[in-house]
Amino acid sequence: MIGRRTFALLGWLLLAAALPLPAQVLKVVINGTIQPITDEYIGRAIVQAERTHAQAVLIEMNTPGGLADSTRDIIEKILASPVPVILYVTPSGSRAASAGFFILEAADVAAMAPGTNTGAAHPVQLGGGKIDDVMKEKIENDSAALMRSVASKRGRNVEIAESAVRQSKSFTDQEALNNKLIDYIAPSAEDLFRQMQGKPVRRFNGTSTRLELAGKPVLPFGMTLKQRILNFIMDPNIAFLLLAIGALALYAEFNHPGAVVPGVVGVVFILLALFALNLLPTRYAALILILGAFAMFILEAKFATHGVVGLGGIAMLTLGALLLVDGPIPEMRVSLVTALAVSVPLGVITVFLMDIALRARRNKVTTGTQGLVGALAVARTPLSPSGKVFVHGEIWDAVCSAPLGAGESVIVRAVEGLVLQVEPATAAQRSHAIVTS
């Protein structure tokens, strides 16, 4: 009986595995800048939706913009997706600005929640630097052509969409709907699905499909652990903080060899920072400024310039932080607040640690045989020239450079094995030295 039931259960399980999965919507949440990890995340979601035969991919977005290369890669994935992609700007108060506007227009279905906005998609030169008119026109025309291409294929208002690129126009949710830049305004994903129910959706290849998503399960699709970690450190402020802490930890390890923990922490933090900076538009020349700042901190501790060189180091570190990431939008650069909040304490701590290290190296050694050199000793027996002396609480064999009687003071000049080389002490030496008895 048990065997039959077991085989029956296995049969049902195999049958269930062979049947297609129920229709579903895979939900992706983008809340931040558009960068390589965002591209990888959306790409994984589209592949997963195709593999599980999901009816659609829902991308809930709130972004200030991001990198042009990552934006183009995301658009390519959306246009080639066999599964319809719905882009929904939500919650209220959110935006799909700059790069987000391009992705919004590229989606099969574009929707916004009440109180959201989109647009301001004019291309920005990395770092905000001034470029010549010819190059500026080339970049603008290239971005405008991309916008015309995706908007026309989606049946949206090409002229108005292009104005967001050339004139940096922005639109409220109602303005976007009235100008046919989006398809729906909905307060929630459930309401959006009800509005879409049974209506045709125009695919990029010119075909049309009807989505019936009302009441269908929505499955959240999260980032992998690797993507969550990388997405966190891709924040330029976090990357700079990791770099600064890592440099300080290595600095502490060099000043205290064998501590191990600061060295391990320093290497890990610096490698994480360099990995993130490698994916971001980084000015590596700014790293020279950061290294120069640490050099100035060391000089401040060594020469005691009363803070002049130290302040220069803090200024260099702050400038290096501000120039480190060459992002197209403020959210993709190190903020002034972060730069100052890291640079000032780091400068003070580094100068303090270096000062301690230099003082320790300048101090006379007071232990072992080296600690005996220069010490004041008292002859316990006549030195003619050999005899016994008392120093640091011990009696040593000694050889004096001149004959002396018992009770005379001598100065230790060298230690050879277990014999001290001494010479008569002057009055000044006797008055400044302390005999350990």
Query: What is the residue extent of each domain of the chain?
Result: 22-223, 235-362, 369-432
SS3 73: helix
What per-residue confidence (pLDDT) applies to 20? 47
Architecture of domain 22-223: Alpha-Beta Complex (3.90)
Q: Give the model's confidence band at 9: pLDDT under 50 very low, under 70 low, under 90 confident, else very high.
A: low
Cα dihedral 308, 311, 317, 318, rounded to 10, equals -140
Q: Is the pLDDT of residue 436 over 70?
A: no
- The CATH H-level (homologous superfamily) assignment of domain 369-432 is Nucleic acid-binding proteins (2.40.50.140)
Distance of CA 197 to the CA centre of its chain: 43
pLDDT number for residue 356:
65
Of 49 and 406, more confident: 49
What is the pLDDT at residue 358?
59
What does the alpha-carbon distance between residue 81 and residue 75 come to, in Å, rounded to a whole number? Answer: 10
Q: Give pLDDT, residue 125.
A: 58
Pairing state between β 409-416 and 184-185: unpaired
pLDDT at 225 over 80: yes
- What residue spans of 65-132 are helical by DSSP H? 68-80, 99-106
* Residue 343 clears pLDDT 90, i.e. is over it: no
Q: With a cut of 90, say whether residue 61 has pLDDT above it.
A: yes
Query: What band does 308 get if pLDDT is binned at 50, 70 and 90?
Result: confident
CB 165 within 8 Å of CB 122: yes
Beta bridge partners of 89: 61, 112
State pLDDT tens for residues 232-241: 999 999 999 9
Confidence of residue 359 (pLDDT cuts 50, 70, 90): low
Q: Please check whether residue 72 is in contact with residue 146, taking contact to mean a CB–CB distance below 8 angstroms.
A: yes
Residues of the chain above pLDDT 70, percent: 84
pLDDT range class, residue 321, cuts 50, 70, 90: very high
pLDDT digits (tens, 9 = 90+) for 407-424: 888 888 888 878 888 888
Task: Check: CB of residue 284 under 8 Å from CB of residue 320.
Answer: no
Return the pLDDT at 366: 52
pTM: 0.73
pLDDT grade for 120, boundaries at 50, 70 and 90: confident
pLDDT value for 16: 43
pLDDT classification of 373: cutoffs 50, 70, 90 = confident
pLDDT digits over 151-206, tens only? 998 889 999 999 999 998 999 999 999 999 999 999 999 999 999 998 989 888 88
Q: pLDDT, tens digit, for every residue of 71-106?
A: 999 999 999 999 999 999 999 999 999 999 999 999
Distance CA 55, CA 27 (A): 11
Provide the pLDDT for residue 6. Answer: 58
